[in-house]
A = this chain, B = another copy of it.
Amino acid sequence: MSFEKKIRDLYISGHEHYLRNISVDCIIFGFHQNELKVLLLEAKYAGMWALPGGFILKEEHMDAAAKRILKDRTSLDNIYLQQFHVFSEPNRSTKKINNQFMKNVGIEIEESWMFERFITIGYTALVDFSKVHPLPDIISNACEWHNIHSLPEMILDHKAILEKALENLRLQLNYHPVGYNLLPEKFTMPELQKLYETILDRTLDRRNFQRKIMGTGILKRLAETKKGVAHKAPYYYKFDMRKYQKALKSGMGFEL
């Protein structure tokens, strides 16, 4: 199916497959080179960036829709996703963007479910940066990681959604163990601390951090140390999945 045909189909008969007035947007966080990153799409013809998003199939659970969107962009499966907020400003309409888009594609459509107002549910995902293979969707030029601190111009209220997701992530940090999703299987304590510092955007005391993290019991220290580093080699750690799962459910008293 040609690009133009696909687009036309989406505009004309998408509402036969998807729920109306509802979309899902994913904020996909990754951690790389001591920087917190987020995966964004460059919207075609708009010169702006957007959150990876999509719609919910008529018989699909919303969580499944979010997972599907995540998988399409990252090729990752089995990722922990979490809804965090619903955005419902009445002027959340993509009509302008749609018009510009269609003009550039070269199609004219009078009426479409896509012109209506959309309420969007925001989902957060934390992923292992090194395992992601970013892939743009049909209406985007590119799919790239962006540093949290140098975001490009974004469509609609997507920047506000992102900010809210970040705020939410920071709050969660005290109750839910977070590193498991963002780090490789084995990691050092300084790496984990740097992750926390990056998310919280402040420095933490090395020794107190270690004491508190280990106090939760969700980490196991391995006998192995990191090789090929200048100075003292740090130990590797991995998550104790049993205790990690437990902490995910019951939460953990934890103040940084």
Contacts and interface: CB of A to CB of B under 8 A. Distances in A.
Interface of A is mostly: loop
B88 A86 contact: no
Interface in A10-68: 19-22, 56, 58-63
A56 B63 CA distance: 22
Interface in A103-119: 117, 119
Contacts of A63: 88
Contacts of A60: 90
A89 interface: yes
A188 interface: no
Contacts of A140: none
Contact of A83 (B58, B62, B85): B85
Given A19-B21, A20-B21, A119-B22, A61 B83 contact: no
A90 B63 CA distance: 10
